[in-house]
Structure 1
Amino acid sequence: MQLKILRRSAWFAGGVLALALGVVGVFLPLLPTTPFVILAAACFAQSSPRLHDWLLRHPLFGPAIRDWRNHRAIPPRAKTAAVIAMVAAFGLSLWMQLPGWVLLAQGAVLLTAGGWIVTRPSGPRA
C-alpha cells in the first residue's frame, strides 16, 4: 500500500513540475509549452484524475493535449516554437564556445528531437 502511495506521489510531483515548466513556457519563448503540458497530463492521469480532467478542459492547454491524445499531432505553432528554442539553445552553446564534443552531442540530440517533432502530424488526418 505504501509503495502505491509513493508511486502516486511521484507521478503527482512530476505532473506539477511539468505543468510549472509549461506555464513558464507560455511567457518565456525559449521554453516550449506543449510537450510539458502533455507530460503533465500523462502524469496526472496516473495520480490525480481531477487535475487531469482540469487540464483536458483548460482553454489554453486542453486542445494541444487532445490533439496529441487523439491524433498524435503537434500544432504547427508548437512545432515552430520548439524548433526555434532548439536553434536558440544551440546558438547559445556556440556563443559560449563550448567544447566540440559537447556541440556535437547537443547537435545530434537536437537534430533527432527536432526531426521527430516536425514529422508529427499537425492536426487530425483527413
Structure 2
Amino acid sequence: AAWLENHQTFGPAIENWRSRRAIPAKGKWLACLMLCVSWSVLLISGAAPVVLLATGLMFLGLACYLLTRASY
C-alpha cells in the first residue's frame, strides 16, 4: 500500500480518490471507451441476447457512476 501511495503516477490518483472521491477525466473517458469496446466484442462474437442485455445494463450503470464523480 505504501509503495502505491508514494508512487509518482498512482499516488496522486489514490489521494484524490480518498480525499474528494475524484477520478481524472482522462481515466473516466478511457474506462467508458473500454466498456464500449468490451460490449462490442460481445456483440460481434455472437453472445446471447440475455448476456448482451445484462452486461449492457451493468456497463451503463458503471459509466453513469464514473461520469458523475468529480474530476481533477
Instruction: Say yes or no: TM over 0.5.
Output: yes
What's 1:85 paired with? 34
User: RCO higher in 1 or 2 (8 Å CA, sep ≥ 6)?
Assistant: 2
Gaps (5+ residues) in structure 2?
Answer: none
* Structure 1 residue 119, shift from structure 2 partner: 0.6
- 2:38 is aligned with 1:99: no
Counterpart of 2:71, as a letter, is: S
Aligned pairs, number = 72
Distance 1:81 1:63 in 2: 18
TM-score norm. by structure 1 comes to: 0.56
Q: Could you tell me which of 78, 84, 109 is aligned with 2:58?
A: 109
Q: What RMSD, in angstroms, separates the aligned Cα atoms of the two structures?
A: 0.7
Moved over 6 A (4+): none
Higher CA-based Rg: 1
Aligned identity (percent) is: 36
TM-score norm. by structure 2 comes to: 0.95
What's 1:56 paired with? 5
Gaps (5+ residues) in structure 1?
Answer: 1-51
